[in-house]
Amino acid sequence: MAATPLYMRRVGFDPDAELSAVRDRDGVTRVDSPLMGIPVWLVTRIEDVRRVYGDARRFAQSARHLVPGAPALTDEELAAARPGNMLAYDPPEHTRLRRLVAREFTGRRMRLLEPRVRDIVDDHLDAIERQGPPADLVRDFALPIPALVICELLGVPYADRDAFQERYARYFDASLSPDERLALQLESRAYLTGLVARARVEPGDDLLGVLVRDESAGLTDGELVGMADLLLLAGHETTANMLGLGAYALLRHPDQLRLLRDEPDRADAAVEELLRWLTVVHTGVPRVTTADVELGGHAVGPGEVVVCALAAANRDPALVPDPDRLDITRDAGSHVAFGHGVHHCLGAPLARMELRIAFPALARRFPGLRAVDGEPAFRAQQIVYGLAALPVTW
Res. 68 pLDDT band, cuts 50 70 90: low
Pairing of strands 391-393, 135-136: antiparallel
Res. 178 pLDDT band, cuts 50 70 90: low
CATH number among 3.40.50.1820, 2.30.40.10, 1.10.630.10, 3.40.640.10, domain 6-393 = 1.10.630.10
> Cβ neighbours of residue 386 under 8 Å, at least 6 residues apart?
138, 142, 240, 241, 242, 244, 245, 280, 378, 379
pLDDT digits (tens, 9 = 90+) for 336-354: 999 999 888 888 999 999 9
The domain spans of the chain are 6-393
Res. 179 pLDDT band, cuts 50 70 90: confident
Cα–Cα distance for residue pair 207/266, rounded to 1 Å: 31
pLDDT digits (tens, 9 = 90+) for 82-112: 788 888 888 888 888 888 888 778 778 788 8
Alpha-carbon separation of residue 47 from 272, 318, 335, 338, 355 (angstroms): 18, 8, 11, 15, 27
Structure-derived torsion over alpha carbons of residues 307, 311, 314, 315, reported in degrees to the nearest 10: -120
Maximal C-alpha separation, the chain: 61
pLDDT digits (tens, 9 = 90+) for 116-157: 999 999 999 999 999 999 999 999 999 989 988 988 888 888
